[in-house]
Amino acid sequence: MTRSTIDALLETLDAEADAIRSARYQPLKVIQTSIESQMAQLRPDQHPQQALQKLKSRLQANQALLQAAVGGMAAARARVAELLQVQQGLSIYDQSGTLATVPTHNKGLEKKA
C-alpha cells in the first residue's frame, strides 16, 4: 500500500464520517466494504508511524461517531415510546402508592361557543 493509498483510505474514512454526521446511513455499507478492502492491503511495516497514528485516530473518531449515532437513535426510539405511552393514558400514583394509568380521551380540538 503506497502513501497515496493511505490517503485514499483517509478520504474514505472522511466520507464515512460525513455520512454519519448527516444521517445518511444508506451508503455506509458500501463505504464499509471499501474500508475493509483498503485495510486488507495495509502493510503497517511499510509506512511511517505518523501516518499509521493518523489512520488510527481517524478510525477511533469514526467509531465514536457511530456509537453516538446509535445512542441517539436509541434515545429517539425511547422518546417516541414515551410519547405513545402518554397518548394512551396518563400514568399516576393512586392513594395506595400503586402506579395506575388514567385513560386520556383526546378527540381533537373542541370548539366551544
Q: Per residue in 33-92, pLDDT tens?
A: 999 999 999 888 888 899 999 999 999 999 999 999 999 999 999 999 988 887 878 788
At residue 1, the pLDDT reads 45
Give whole-number Cα distances, 48 to 2, 9, 41, 56, 58, in Å: 11, 15, 16, 13, 16
Sorted by where each begins, the domain ranges of the chain are 3-97
89-93 and 99-103: which strand pairing? antiparallel
What is the pTM for the complete model shown?
0.71
At residue 106, the pLDDT reads 62
Instruction: Report the alpha-carbon distance of residue 104 to residue 52 in Å, rounded.
Output: 59
At residue 108, the pLDDT reads 63
Using left for φ > 0, alpha for ψ between -120 and 50, and beta otherwise, residue 108 falls in left
pLDDT category, 109, cuts 50, 70, 90? Answer: low
At residue 107, the pLDDT reads 61
Q: Per residue in 1-11, pLDDT tens?
A: 445 688 889 99
Residue type present at position 89: G
Kindly give, in sequence order, each residue whose CB lies less than 8 Å from that of residue 15, ignoring residues fewer than 6 positions away.
27, 31
Backbone angles phi, psi at 112, to 5 degrees: -120, 140
At residue 91, the pLDDT reads 81
